[in-house]
A and B are shown apart, each in its own frame.
Chain A
Amino acid sequence: GENVGLHLPTLSVQEGDNSIINCAYSNSASDYFIWYKQESGKGPQFIIDIRSNMDKRQGQRVTVLLNKTVKHLSLQIAATQPGDSAVYFCAETYSGTYKYIFGTGTRLKVLA
């Protein structure tokens, strides 16, 4: 699999700053993307999603950007808080399959 043997990169940000977490997805046919947050010892929690017919989608304090040309996805978190500290994964899938493929993940550390 594409994630075997990889270790999580870490992003450290000051509390109150904005965070940008990036993800490169693998399948140009993927048409639905999701960002998940995973806290230690827990399962992933949905944050925000975006379909391939959109470039940007905003939620509460979070924004997802999709660049299909370079197969890149980003998650922006505004005014990062200590509770945002977690590992963030992007996932991709395409119509006709139920499978989600998870990206490598990024550990976000919020510094007080």
Chain B
Amino acid sequence: GAVVSQHPSWVICKSGTSVKIECRSLDFQATTMFWYRQFPKQSLMLMATSNEGSKATYEQGVEKDKFLINHASLTLSTLTVTSAHPEDSSFYICSARDALFLSLGGYTFGSGTRLTVV
């Protein structure tokens, strides 16, 4: 079945540095990828929609310059948290929609990245 690999699974960084999270579709081409943020004991909040070869569409309230998204190929999208601060600490999850819509539920989710900013 469709598999999405997200890396790293966890990262600790110092305040002020930038962190890149990768989301790869391993056995399918992902025309659209989504980035979510999840705080402890809360639901998934959509941050942005990433389309291959075009600029990401950000949800209201999400800072474009802080959360840089690049979807350079049909199998890779990256989220870069720039100048990270402790309030950016969260669980970040990507999901991918395959062009043939083979994923159950339409999308396959990555395993998430736990970001801790100290």
Beta-carbon contacts under 8 Å, B101-116 to A: 103-107, 109-112, 114
Binary contact readout B18-50 vs A (1 if CB under 8 angstroms, 0 otherwise): 000000000000001010000001111110010
Beta-carbon contacts under 8 Å, A81-112 to B: 89, 91, 93, 98-105
A1, A4, A34: which contacts B105 (Cβ < 8 A)? A34
Binary contact readout A27-62 vs B (1 if CB under 8 angstroms, 0 otherwise): 000001010100001111110010000000000000
Q: Are B97 and A102 in contact (CB under 8 A)?
A: no
Say which size band chain B's interface belongs to. Answer: 20 to 34
A79 close to chain B: CB less than 8 A: no
Query: In the assembled complex, which residues on chain A have CB atoms less than 8 Å from the CB atom of B49?
Result: 98-99
A70 close to chain B: CB less than 8 A: no
Q: Are A6 and B111 in contact (CB under 8 A)?
A: no
- For the complex formed, measure the closest distance between the CB of A32 and the CB atoms of chain B, giving whole angstroms: 8
Q: Are A42 and B112 in contact (CB under 8 A)?
A: yes
B78 close to chain A: CB less than 8 A: no
Q: Are B43 and A6 in contact (CB under 8 A)?
A: yes
Q: Are B42 and A6 in contact (CB under 8 A)?
A: yes
Beta-carbon contacts under 8 Å, B41-100 to A: 41-46, 49, 59, 61, 91, 93, 95, 97
Apart from A8-B42, A34-B106, A41-B91: 19 A-B pairs, beta carbons within 8 A: A1-B45, A5-B42, A6-B43, A41-B9, A41-B114, A42-B111, A42-B112, A43-B4, A43-B110, A46-B104, A49-B105, A93-B106, A98-B97, A99-B46, A100-B46, A100-B106, A100-B107, A102-B43, A105-B42
Sample of 24 A–B contacts (CB below 8 Å): A1-B59, A1-B61, A4-B42, A6-B42, A6-B43, A7-B42, A8-B42, A34-B105, A34-B106, A41-B91, A43-B110, A43-B112, A46-B103, A46-B104, A46-B105, A91-B105, A99-B49, A100-B95, A100-B106, A101-B46, A102-B43, A102-B45, A104-B43, A105-B42
